[in-house]
Amino acid sequence: MRWIKQIYDCLHAYKLWFLILAATNLLFMFLAWLAYPETFMVLVGLMIAFTLAMIAMSVFVIIRKQSIIEEAFQDFLLEANETNEERLCRVSPKIYWPFIRRAGNALRSYQAELNEQVMELADYENFIEGWVHEIKKPLSLMTLVLDNRSDEMSPLVRQRMLHSRDQIVGDVERILYFARLGAAHKDYIFEPVSLLAFCKQIIEDHQTLLDESGFHIEFIGDEEEVLSDRKGLAFIIQQIIANSTKHAAQNQDRPILRFETGYDPANDQATLTVSDNGPGVSEEDLPFIFDKGFTGRRGAYTREATGMGLFLVSRMAYDLAIQLDARSEPGSGLALTLRFPNVKK
């Protein structure tokens, strides 16, 4: 089948020359009929046989030549160095040499720029990771002071300091994860996780952040066990909590953060829905809340909105094979549903 396609492509590419050859044969057949009418049939048969033989030989040579050019061209695309460029020029018609050399110069220039950008990106990632490890030192010192000198400060000041520390820790985790988005290898360890117990543990770790915003926490549903990476799942829930605290309802109602487990029998999946009673998201903004840098109308509620939290949530959920669904109406809060993959034991 491949040979048939190659023959068709060759005939189509050189159809003008084959038509000229056919027209020439028709002319000579007419002349043979005028000059040698008694041997006309013999001459026509010889001419047709010779023409078909020449066409078959030409097609074979052209296909063979194209195969050699294609092989050299593939090597040239994989590595556009001067050696592969000269090899491609040797097997290609001379009229194409200027174009090949221009393409080689352009590819080498782009490759040099790409290599430089890759090195800059690697340096940036190393700098961010180094900065994150350095910033952990003053954060640890801050935690030590808050734990050992709590009697020297008022409860309100201590709560505000703990709230600021937790905010900084959350921002540092977002920076570190964002810097590692393009990493080729990620150290995920999948193990059984009890959803409600896990969410309660996350709440305890971020109690100061929730107390500062005055959130009331609710847990609904039965305990569901899923298979997931604990660090990755914790990051997802932490970002959802941070997003809710940033957009806490600015009214007399007490902010509510609700964790509800469920089971979808149609898809045999365990679900976790985290919802709040915040300002919600408009219908036109809802499809874009997981896009990088998107704030939409919700950005008007606070200057802290960056559009990165839910973007990172979507990326981590993709890595963990968790499906994300969002539903909301303005004034009724935002509900994010995590649908965990069904892993057979």
For residues 247 and 303, what is the distance between their CA atoms, to the nearest angstrom? 10
Residue written as token pair 């195969």: 67
More confident residue, 7 or 134: 134
Q: Which of 193, 273, 202 is nearest to 238 (CA)?
A: 202
Ranked by mean pLDDT, the top range of 32-36, 85-89, 125-129 is 85-89
Band of pLDDT at residue 336, cut at 50, 70 and 90: very high
- Global pTM value: 0.62
Is pLDDT at 113 greater than 80 in this prediction?
yes
Least confident of 9-13, 88-92, 160-164, 311-315: 9-13
Question: What are the residue boundaries of the structural domains of the chain, listed by start?
Answer: 2-92, 108-179, 193-339
pLDDT value at residue 274: 92
Q: What share of the chain is helix, strand, coil (3-state, %, to 5)?
A: 65, 15, 25
pLDDT value at residue 300: 42
**pLDDT tens readout for residues 237-279:** 988 888 888 776 554 467 888 999 998 888 888 999 999 888 8
Q: Which of 58, 87, 55, 82 is nearest to 70 (CA)?
A: 87
- Residue 265, classified by CB atoms within 10 Å of its CB into exposed (0-12), middle (13-18) or buried (19+), is exposed
pLDDT value at residue 308: 75
Band of pLDDT at residue 339, cut at 50, 70 and 90: very high
pLDDT value at residue 287: 83
According to DSSP, residue 249 is labeled -
For residues 142 and 144, what is the distance between their CA atoms, to the nearest angstrom? 5
Is 255:276 a contact under the CB 8 Å cutoff? yes
Ranked by mean pLDDT, the top range of 3-12, 69-78, 161-170, 286-295 is 69-78
The answer for 219, left when phi > 0, alpha when psi is -120 to 50, beta otherwise, is beta
Q: 193-339 belongs to which homologous superfamily? A: Histidine kinase-like ATPase, C-terminal domain (3.30.565.10)
For residues 228 and 246, what is the distance between their CA atoms, to the nearest angstrom? 27
Q: Provide φ and ψ at 92, rounded to 5°.
A: -100, 155
pLDDT value at residue 295: 66
- Give Cα 305 distance to the centre of its chain: 23
Band of pLDDT at residue 306, cut at 50, 70 and 90: low
Strands laid side by side in the 216-220 sheet: 216-220, 256-264, 269-276, 334-339, 323-328
DSSP-derived pairing of the beta strands 216-220 and 256-264: parallel
Band of pLDDT at residue 197, cut at 50, 70 and 90: very high
- Dihedral sign computed on CA atoms, order 122, 125, 131, 134: negative
**pLDDT tens readout for residues 142-159:** 777 777 777 777 777 777
